[in-house]
Chain A
């Protein structure tokens, strides 16, 4: 009689060994990619950070991961999003500052270039879409851009309408992106009032659309007063709200 059990055991062992061999470099490359995002290592040529000089950056590692057969979804969710989330949390805790976030976002963007074809072919899907802009009368751009980058890094599609955006322009963008979330930014107490007009304008036509607001003079009480759904003092708070409270498209 053939020793069936030992043969199956041997086959299982063989499979486990090979799976291990396949998974180890996959996990390693995802961890390295995550580290590149967190440290802002864009590509092999970038001299920053000095301790990673000459090493592959997010650009090369994302390309290699795809070539190795790592699922694009895993590249996005297990490396890039995790890396950017850690950056957002450290920024909130004042362990790192705006320049660090910008460098992380640049590394993230370099990796995302390799994932674009998968988004086009629908193999990869964004968690949802957020239409974002600085409200009418306000020309401040940088805070809004920073929030956009962190949100984008968390797997959301961002439609950035720029600054001095009228309520009509927001409404038009909402019409064009059904089911989106809207993000409003203002840096002046004078332009905060235009947040209220914009919220009312959007909700009068799309009562189900969620609107989140932020900016130096904005508070949670103000958000509640004008009928906005959420206020966040930092980009990561916006990401957490989007991921937990907003239904993806």
Chain B
């Protein structure tokens, strides 16, 4: 039974190497999917990447909420007496879940500081590219963590949904406060500002539905209504992304 093996929280510190981030991944994230990135962008990314591991404090972790604490509604998840209002889009994706894993991941504060320093010195391009690498690290750390969660639940015959974060698909960012209330203070070194911004900024948080009957779908932008999102991809871009 999964219930008997549910730990309070689990945390990890994967290395940069384990995240397998290379230049092409960063280029693609910058938008260069149909056209190649300019040579100088490639050069600067190549210059940045060897320095990145020295400026990282990657941490990530999760907590699987006890089954008896969780009930799913059309609007989100009721955890004890706390209503997490993911909104109907995410609630629909979670509907077959028995419980949820709350997760966080962070690249730490140093990349962000490096980026700000470069920009203050007038090197906007390198500062921006360091920032982009920081976003990629936080994102890839969450992906890496998903695999650990999958390994954790697979022996019990359970699967997991995609991960969902406050701020997307109509889930209010203010719910970060509720999500973090189920985690230890400063879990993985992450804290929240009153406006629900995570510090360090290069951090991610969210939920993943778990259960024997849930499915993990392909990444899709069509379920989200942030039409002007800078990361929004059309169908052909998504197809390229998933190959």
- Distance, CA A103 to CA B201, complexed state (A): 25
Contacts A48-B38, A103-B40, A138-B195 hold; do A189 and B173 have CB atoms under 8 A apart? yes
The answer to whether the Cβ of A179 comes within 8 Å of any Cβ in the partner chain is: no
Contact among A97, A140, A145, A188 with B30 in the assembled complex (CB-CB below 8 Å): A97
Instruction: Please state if B31 and A97 are interface contacts (CB–CB under 8 Å).
Output: yes
The answer to whether the Cβ of B128 comes within 8 Å of any Cβ in the partner chain is: yes
Instruction: Please state if A190 and B174 are interface contacts (CB–CB under 8 Å).
Output: yes
Contacts A145-B119, A190-B174 hold; do A138 and B128 have CB atoms under 8 A apart? no
- Distance, CA A15 to CA B32, complexed state (A): 51
- Distance, CA A137 to CA B198, complexed state (A): 11
The answer to whether the Cβ of B125 comes within 8 Å of any Cβ in the partner chain is: yes
Instruction: Please state if A145 and B173 are interface contacts (CB–CB under 8 Å).
Output: no
Instruction: Please state if B125 and A102 are interface contacts (CB–CB under 8 Å).
Output: yes
Chain B: residues with CB nearer than 8 A to chain A? 30-32, 35, 37-41, 116, 119, 124-125, 128-129, 131, 167, 172-174, 193-197, 201, 226, 228-230
Query: Shortest CB–CB separation between residue A233 and chain B, in angstroms?
Result: 4
Instruction: Please state if A48 and B40 are interface contacts (CB–CB under 8 Å).
Output: yes
Instruction: Give the chain A neighbours of B32 by CB distance below 8 A.
Output: 97
Instruction: Please state if B30 and A50 are interface contacts (CB–CB under 8 Å).
Output: no
Contact among B129, B172, B194, B196 with A99 in the assembled complex (CB-CB below 8 Å): B129
Query: Shortest CB–CB separation between residue A194 and chain B, in angstroms?
Result: 8
Instruction: Please state if B124 and A139 are interface contacts (CB–CB under 8 Å).
Output: no
- Distance, CA A138 to CA B39, complexed state (A): 33
Instruction: Please state if B125 and A99 are interface contacts (CB–CB under 8 Å).
Output: yes
Contacts A48-B39, A189-B172 hold; do A106 and B124 have CB atoms under 8 A apart? yes
- Distance, CA A105 to CA B122, complexed state (A): 11
The answer to whether the Cβ of A225 comes within 8 Å of any Cβ in the partner chain is: no
- Chain A residue nearest to B44 (CB atoms) is A99
| A40, A47, A142: most-surrounded residue (chain B CB, <10 A) | A142
Instruction: Please state if B128 and A142 are interface contacts (CB–CB under 8 Å).
Output: yes
What's the count of A-B pairs with C-beta under 8 Å?
81
- Distance, CA A105 to CA B131, complexed state (A): 18
- Distance, CA A37 to CA B45, complexed state (A): 22
Chain A: residues with CB nearer than 8 A to chain B? 40, 47-50, 94-95, 97-100, 102-103, 105-106, 136-142, 145, 149, 188-191, 194, 216-217, 219, 233-234
Contacts A191-B195, A216-B226 hold; do A102 and B124 have CB atoms under 8 A apart? yes
- Distance, CA A95 to CA B35, complexed state (A): 8
Instruction: Give the chain A neighbours of B194 by CB distance below 8 A.
Output: 137
Query: Shortest CB–CB separation between residue A68 and chain B, in angstroms?
Result: 29
Instruction: Please state if A98 and B174 are interface contacts (CB–CB under 8 Å).
Output: no
Contact among B30, B38, B193 with A49 in the assembled complex (CB-CB below 8 Å): B38
- Distance, CA A155 to CA B226, complexed state (A): 31
| B125, B173, B194: most-surrounded residue (chain A CB, <10 A) | B125
Instruction: Please state if A98 and B197 are interface contacts (CB–CB under 8 Å).
Output: no
- Distance, CA A140 to CA B134, complexed state (A): 14
Query: Shortest CB–CB separation between residue A220 and chain B, in angstroms?
Result: 10
Instruction: Give the chain B neighbours of A105 by CB distance below 8 A.
Output: 124
Instruction: Please state if A189 and B31 are interface contacts (CB–CB under 8 Å).
Output: no
Which 9 residue pairs across A and B have the least CB separation, nearest first? A137-B195, A97-B31, A233-B228, A48-B40, A190-B195, A190-B173, A99-B41, A190-B196, A189-B173
- Chain B residue nearest to A191 (CB atoms) is B195
- Chain A residue nearest to B170 (CB atoms) is A189
Instruction: Give the chain B neighbours of A50 by CB distance below 8 A.
Output: 39
- Distance, CA A59 to CA B41, complexed state (A): 21
Extra contacts besides A102-B128, A189-B173 (9): CB < 8 Å: A47-B40, A48-B38, A99-B38, A99-B129, A102-B125, A141-B116, A141-B119, A142-B128, A142-B131
Instruction: Give the chain A neighbours of B228 by CB distance below 8 A.
Output: 216, 219, 233-234
- Distance, CA A145 to CA B122, complexed state (A): 12
Instruction: Give the chain A neighbours of B35 by CB distance below 8 A.
Output: 95
Contacts A49-B38, A145-B119, A190-B173 hold; do A99 and B128 have CB atoms under 8 A apart? yes
Instruction: Please state if A106 and B31 are interface contacts (CB–CB under 8 Å).
Output: no
Instruction: Please state if B197 and A99 are interface contacts (CB–CB under 8 Å).
Output: no
Query: Shortest CB–CB separation between residue B85 and chain A, in angstroms?
Result: 12
Instruction: Please state if A188 and B167 are interface contacts (CB–CB under 8 Å).
Output: yes
Instruction: Give the chain A neighbours of B226 by CB distance below 8 A.
Output: 216-217
Query: Shortest CB–CB separation between residue B64 and chain A, in angstroms?
Result: 27
Instruction: Please state if B39 and A99 are interface contacts (CB–CB under 8 Å).
Output: no
- Distance, CA A69 to CA B164, complexed state (A): 60
Instruction: Give the chain B neighbours of A103 by CB distance below 8 A.
Output: 38, 40, 125
- Chain B residue nearest to A137 (CB atoms) is B195
Instruction: Please state if A216 and B195 are interface contacts (CB–CB under 8 Å).
Output: no
Instruction: Please state if A188 and B40 are interface contacts (CB–CB under 8 Å).
Output: no
